[in-house]
């Protein structure tokens, strides 16, 4: 017999957060993914190293997050210690993802690194199944190969191949980035199911700032005084990703089945490709546009936009007797 999972009773705050957008958490997650697609463009325009970009895109988001968090903290109080622990680990994994993926782009090329990091679409539901015994929809499993073909095409891997300066190190770094990214998404979603969403997410960004600085310093990729022009673009990246995109994901992903949230995050590489063509004068190939179409079609089919969203606190089904 199947029953709904109830990981932790949510407070009224995340219940209200679900209704911030009129069509529910699917649209909230999609809006977050689209906001995240702005970040790669801004980071490219900043011209900064991986460690510097990772630190400042988190650090510059903190003032906005603190303003948003203070009312919640006064209303709900401090989050439970377990939730704080999830947030600290999630921040460390997010820092590892940002630095490792940026290094992988230079070492192995953008195509393979993009493909590998977006393996999260399979890894996050796998983690949710292994840890929380959350069932994965059959429709998602059927369309997963189509999504991965779309990711490969969108990443331009067929045209560019593995063309970085160090394919072995780049592949290792990209795989590690994918693991960090998947772990971050899993913990972000799990921590947000316990209420105190903004407070817990702010802890994530504080942790990510500290770990990004540590990793950047160890790898010699940290500039504590970047030029003002670079800081302006990093501030734009911080606003679009740290203060808007990931905050929306933190708020809405706990209200969705894990595979639905993971699929909607594939809108980020699609949006980044389109924005790169407009803002950076890039020229995506026909196969990359085909990959975007495959991702969009498979997302539409598997996410179930026409269906009603689960009740708050019931993001997915759990295996049981």
Distance CA 211, CA 193 (A): 24
Q: Kindly state the average pLDDT of the residues 94-105.
A: 84
Which tens digit of pLDDT belongs to each residue from 230-265? Answer: 999 999 999 999 999 999 999 999 999 999 999 999
What is the reported pLDDT for 15? 46
Model confidence band, residue 60 (pLDDT cutoffs 50, 70, 90):
very high
Q: Kindly state the average pLDDT of the residues 96-108.
A: 78
Q: Kindly state the average pLDDT of the residues 20-43.
A: 82
Distance CA 271, CA 312 (A): 28
Which tens digit of pLDDT belongs to each residue from 133-146? Answer: 888 888 888 989 99
Dump the DSSP string for 157-188. Answer: HHHH-S-SS-HHHHHHHHHHHHHHHHHHHHHH
**pTM of the full predicted structure?**
0.82
pLDDT above 70 coverage of the chain, percent:
81
What is the reported pLDDT for 194? 75
For the record, the structure tokens of 234 come out as 């990093």
pLDDT above 90 coverage of the chain, percent:
36
Q: Kindly state the average pLDDT of the residues 72-98.
A: 92
What is the reported pLDDT for 106? 67
Q: Would the pLDDT of 118 be above 60?
A: yes
Q: Would the pLDDT of 41 be above 70?
A: yes
């Amino acid at each position: 017999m199947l029953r709904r999972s109830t990981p932790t009773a949510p407070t009224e705050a995340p219940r209200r957060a679900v209704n911030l957008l009129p069509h529910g958490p699917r649209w909230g997650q999609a809006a977050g993914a689209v906001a995240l697609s702005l970040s790669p463009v801004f980071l490219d325009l900043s011209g900064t190293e991986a460690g510097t970009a990772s630190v400042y895109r988190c650090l510059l988001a903190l003032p906005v997050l603190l303003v948003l968090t203070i009312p919640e903290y006064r209303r709900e109080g401090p989050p439970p210690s377990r939730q704080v622990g999830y947030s600290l680990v999630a921040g460390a994994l997010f820092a590892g993802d940002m630095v490792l993926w940026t290094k992988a782009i230079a070492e192995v090329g953008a195509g393979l690194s993009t493909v590998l990091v977006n393996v999260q679409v399979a890894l996050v539901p796998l983690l949710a199944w292994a840890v929380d015994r959350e069932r994965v929809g059959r429709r998602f499993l059927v369309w997963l190969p189509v999504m991965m073909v779309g990711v490969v095409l969108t990443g331009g891997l067929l045209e560019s191949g593995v063309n970085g300066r160090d394919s072995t190190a780049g592949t290792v770094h990209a795989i590690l980035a994918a693991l960090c990214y998947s772990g971050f998404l899993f913990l972000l979603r799990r921590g947000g199911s316990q209420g105190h969403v903004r407070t817990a997410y702010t802890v994530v960004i504080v942790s990510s700032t500290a770990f990004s600085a540590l990793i950047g310093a160890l790898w010699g990729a940290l500039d504590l005084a970047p030029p003002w022009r670079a800081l302006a673009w990093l501030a734009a990246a911080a606003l679009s990703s740290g203060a808007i995109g990931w905050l929306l994901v933190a708020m809405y992903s706990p209200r969705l089945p894990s595979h639905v949230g993971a699929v909607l995050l594939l809108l980020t590489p699609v949006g980044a490709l389109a924005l790169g063509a407009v803002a950076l004068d890039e020229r995506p190939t026909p196969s990359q546009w085909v990959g975007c179409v495959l991702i969009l079609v498979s997302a539409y089919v598997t996410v179930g936009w026409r269906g009603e969203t689960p009740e708050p606190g019931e993001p997915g089904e759990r295996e049981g007797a």
